[in-house]
Amino acid sequence: MTEKERMLSGKLYSANDSELKANAKKSRMLTRLFNNTTEEQKEYRVELLKNLFEKTGENLYVEPPFRCDYGSNISVGNNFYANFDCIILDVCKVDIGENVMFAPRVCIYTAAHPIDVDVRNSGLEFGKPVKIGNNVWIGGSTVINPGVTIGNNVVIGSGSVVTKDIPDNVIAVGNPCRVLREITKEDKIYWERQKEEYYSNI
């Protein structure tokens, strides 16, 4: 296996590899170009992100600055929005569904290091993939750790550190992040009424 194949499979690997260095260099170039764009260059921003990410859907919007390791291991669905200062360390796959919104300073880490000091100091590292479902809102300054899956229709409260999987249809918050409660029919009724009130006054 190549070092890249080892990395993507979650095995120990060395990032000091010519292929990985070339991939990282391309990512740094594309993110530098992206982060130096202006608000008048929306189409160019999308073009850069489509060259950076493995897969994108329609309606892709990321506020600069944005950082990632490789970009080529990130897939996002339709209607993806990330606010300022998003960081995605994508040494393994990051799969993001449709209608997902990130508040400012959301960080996704697939990268990890061995607990044993001697192995860690040798420079070997590893990763675990992250998956985020459809219709998810991630609150500001949230950290999503390696190996986590977040289900569909989830709200993650701001400042959370997500260390374990989060099921569908819940609000979760905290450090470590835990399910606060299910999202209910009453929530839907309340917010539908708020929307009706909004449209009745414009």
Catalytic residues: 113
Which residue, among 106, 195, 97, has the nearest Cα to 144 in the 3D structure? Answer: 106
Instruction: Please name every residue paired with 183 in a beta bridge, in sequence order, or none if there are none.
Output: none
Which residue, among 171, 169, 165, 128, has the nearest Cα to 148 in the 3D structure? Answer: 165
Pairing of strands 80-82, 60-62: parallel
Between the CA atoms of 165, 170, 173 and 179, what dihedral angle is there, to the nearest 10 degrees? Answer: -70
Question: Which strands sit side by side in the sheet containing 86-89, from one edge to the other?
Answer: 66-68, 86-89, 107-109, 143-144, 161-162
CA 27/CA 147 separation, integer angstroms: 22
CA 88/CA 190 separation, integer angstroms: 34
